[in-house]
A and B are shown apart, each in its own frame.
Chain A
Amino acid sequence: MAAIFHGVGAAASLSLSPSNSFDSNKSVFSPRRSFSARKGASFAVVRSEGTVNLNLKGRRAQQLISNAVATTADSIDASSSSKPGHELLLFEALQEGLEEEMERDPRVCVMGEDVGHYGGSYKVTKELAKKFGDLRVLDTPIAENSFTGMGIGAAMTGLRPVVEGMNMGFLLLAFNQISNNCGMLHYTSGGQFTIPIVIRGPGGVGRQLGAEHSQRLESYFQSIPGIQMVACSTPYNAKGLMKAAIRSENPVILFEHVLLYNLKERIPDEDYICNLEEAEMVRPGEHVTILTYSRMRYHVMQAAKTLVNKGYDPEVIDIRSLKPFDLYTIGNSVKKTHRVLIVEECMRTGGIGASLTAAITENFNDYLDAPIVCLSSQDVPTPYAGTLEEVTVVQPAQIVTAVEQLCK
């Protein structure tokens, strides 16, 4: 399916959008506007090259249960437009978002290992080096500590770097830079410097990648004051969050998941962003609030299918914003259902779920009919063997059991 998309892109006429400064060196992805320096606010409707498309099926407005298998997903989102859009995979959505922002603002640059000539180890930065050149898409040596530091230094002067960790786990080497310099400089300088950097990369438990390549760093970074953390889960919110993160004046860490890069979805053609602090209502319900994010969203939706058949009505919220939590959306849900189940991929100890449990208990204790149940990964290094790895993370069957227990 990816091949079809690329084919359409190449075949579509490049003169769809008027571009005065069109460079013949540029790649298949045509510039949607002429490359110009960002001068104040301007909102442009963006046309994609794939508008002449095969089957224009519109979005179904209130689709309740999505197919939870990781290869295809249709996601409902009340805020998406009803215009027919274009279909793409999650990594392409990230690339689109990144490319649009780089065109829009000449200060945006990308730094990371193998992001340039190689095209990115997960193809998120494919073709960008050809289009924008070596000074804007920078291949770094394997030196996370220093290139993250360099990204932060560049951000202090006003550039907007997007630093890619090839795997989130490698960013542990840059922890000092992220914690002390990225998070705290705005405060310790009395507001003189802002750090508009985006740090992104894939994390999470993959398919038998081993312990060191299956890390979930959101739990390590969550206490750092001054940063924002978001986790994307669908092509729609991946593109939206990427764009919002780049435009934000604060340092944002965007967590992607290794197993979600090939999700396909239809997204709108026009320019849109997702609010960085907002949670997403995946499936409204009445009986229990299930809070989740990233890959676990799909496990939850799979469990939700079973639960609906059994007669339960779960409300599923993809929290998206890991720091700060969207306590407004979560609070409204808790006030409605009075039961909370948190399903996360972090480890039990000190994970996002642990903080979220504390936050909900502090703020909404009066509305809870039962103690909060938090399903997280086991507190073990992720083993290599497939059967063991499966048991390390939360599976749909466990979610079903937990809901049944909770709603007794």
Chain B
Amino acid sequence: MALSYLRSSSSSSANLKLLSSAVSIRRPISTDTTPITVETSVPFTAHQCEAPSRSVETSSSELLNFFRNMALMRRMEIAADSLYKAKLIRGFCHLYDGQEAVASGMEAAITKKDCIITAYRDHCIFMGRGGTLLEVFAELMGRRAGCSKGKGGSMHCYKKDSNFYGGHGIVGAQVPLGCGLAFAQKYSKDETVTFALYGDGAANQGQLFEALNISALWDLPAILVCENNHYGMGTAEWRASKSPAYYKRGDYAPGLKVDGMDVLAVKQACKFAKEHALKNGPIILEMDTYRYHGHSMSDPGSTYRTRDEISGVRQERDPIERVRKLILSHDLATEKELKDIEKEMRKEVDDAIAQAKESPMPEPSELFTNVYAKGLGVESFGADRKEVRATLP
């Protein structure tokens, strides 16, 4: 197998690999965990705290996982785009392509016991939390196999068993919920944290500052993550916020500005934030990221920004390309292998879509299920119910 060109690398393990690869035909790429140290693209900017180091420890298997996951997310979002245009997905559909590094990097730094809550751009974060493609596509198409049984839609993906709390349509309302999750974690002494994600548009919501105030007062392990993609639907950040330094907006709460297109920087920042929040209370992370699509499928995305800007970011800062370059430069896989992974992801997505299309719509009786939880004497009766007295548990 022809080797891709080698760049001089700082770690000695790469040299070892160079030797070994000259000898072996195929080395196991995805299970190698020898540490590789990489520098983030830009240093972190800190507010009221010490910035973490720029050097991030990673490994071959982790980098390949990043590539695989981000490629899957990218494929999924692009497929959702075509499904929407084919009118199989209706209503609102907010796509996450361009921002995959935030979802992947965060997952690498935390466990499934930590909670994540986000706004409506939630498909990829749901995937990161362990959701399946079928669940996403079925939910988007309103089928029974969807994660919320087809009753939630694009903006309401939830996964309770891996502590993913959604999926919320009202801008900013998820942040107090997220602080409530952090409160519950502190109450139950779990030693876990909550990541409450919001956008640059939501950063101007009052309830955010209210919740931050309460979290700081009660020392809650809440991490507020601003996914700053520089546009609140059609309004650029300089037109919406007097102070676009969202990581500083917390005032008394420490903040960190992170390059959100660099998955390793995101991972480092989230790890740092988790340790910080468990000791010192809330912290704000600002992820400097970008979305290629418009705000939602009904927004072309080019009336408030130029196509040159979009393609410029795609060329210079695309998160998947960055990881690809990293993998190739450290000779962890060949171009062809990476292309094969992408093809594999494409096939997975196509299979899932085909399966989701087969899935049936919810039954009409499902309209009335799950409005109330059945519990202590709770039955919604019509005019002719049998008499039931409440029973103690």
Whether chains A and B associate is: yes
Interface residues of A (CB under 8 A from B): 41, 43, 109, 135, 138, 140-141, 143, 145-159, 176-177, 180-181, 185-194, 196, 225-226, 228, 244, 247-250, 271, 273-278, 324, 326-328, 331, 363-364
Please give the distance in Å from A366's CB to the nearest CB on chain B: 12
A246: nearest chain-B partner, CB-CB:
B376
Please give the distance in Å from B197's CB to the nearest CB on chain A: 14
Please state if A188 and B148 are interface contacts (CB–CB under 8 Å): yes
Please state if A189 and B148 are interface contacts (CB–CB under 8 Å): yes
Among all A-B residue pairs, the 10 with the closest Cβ atoms: A153-B180, A149-B176, A249-B375, A150-B180, A146-B210, A153-B177, A143-B210, A190-B149, A190-B148, A249-B373
Q: In the complex, what distance in Å separates the CA atom of A51 from the CA atom of B148? A: 52
Q: Select which of A146, A148, A191 is within 8 A of B149 by beta carbon.
A: A191
Q: In the complex, what distance in Å separates the CA atom of A331 from the CA atom of B382? A: 10
In the complex, which residues of chain B have a beta carbon less than 8 angstroms from the beta carbon of A146?
175-176, 179, 207, 210-211, 214
Please give the distance in Å from B352's CB to the nearest CB on chain A: 18
Task: Show 13 A/B contacts (Cβ-Cβ < 8 Å), sorted by A.
Answer: A109-B187, A141-B210, A141-B217, A148-B176, A149-B207, A152-B180, A156-B180, A188-B151, A190-B147, A191-B149, A248-B377, A273-B376, A275-B377
Q: In the complex, what distance in Å separates the CA atom of A189 from the CA atom of B369? A: 12
Decide yes or no: A277 and B378 within 8 Å by CB, A153-B181, A156-B181, A188-B152 being known contacts. yes
Q: Select which of A143, A151, A192 is within 8 A of B213 by beta carbon.
A: A143
Q: Select which of A149, A188, A192, A193 is within 8 A of B180 by beta carbon.
A: A149
Please give the distance in Å from B207's CB to the nearest CB on chain A: 5
The contact string, 1 if C-beta is below 8 Å from chain A, for chain B 181-194, is: 10111111000000
Q: In the complex, what distance in Å separates the CA atom of A187 from the CA atom of B167? A: 13
In the complex, which residues of chain A have a beta carbon less than 8 angstroms from the beta carbon of B147?
190
Q: Select which of A143, A194, A274 is within 8 A of B373 by beta carbon.
A: A194
- B173: Cβ under 8 A from any A Cβ: yes
Please state if A190 and B152 are interface contacts (CB–CB under 8 Å): yes
Q: Select which of A154, A191, A326 is within 8 A of B181 by beta carbon.
A: A154
In the complex, which residues of chain B have a beta carbon less than 8 angstroms from the beta carbon of A324?
380-381
In the complex, which residues of chain B have a beta carbon less than 8 angstroms from the beta carbon of A150?
176-177, 179-180, 183, 211, 214
Q: In the complex, what distance in Å separates the CA atom of A180 from the CA atom of B167? A: 12
Please state if A186 and B210 are interface contacts (CB–CB under 8 Å): no
The A-contacting residues of B in range 202-226, CB under 8 angstroms, are: 206-207, 210-211, 213-214, 217-218
- B316: Cβ under 8 A from any A Cβ: no
In the complex, which residues of chain B have a beta carbon less than 8 angstroms from the beta carbon of A275?
377, 388-390
Please state if B173 and A176 are interface contacts (CB–CB under 8 Å): yes
Please state if B383 and A228 are interface contacts (CB–CB under 8 Å): no
Q: In the complex, what distance in Å separates the CA atom of A151 from the CA atom of B373? A: 18
Please state if B373 and A250 are interface contacts (CB–CB under 8 Å): yes
Q: In the complex, what distance in Å separates the CA atom of A84 from the CA atom of B369? A: 43
The contact string, 1 if C-beta is below 8 Å from chain A, for chain B 155-173, is: 0101110000111111001
Please state if B383 and A328 are interface contacts (CB–CB under 8 Å): yes
Decide yes or no: A331 and B383 within 8 Å by CB, A149-B211, A150-B177, A153-B176 being known contacts. yes
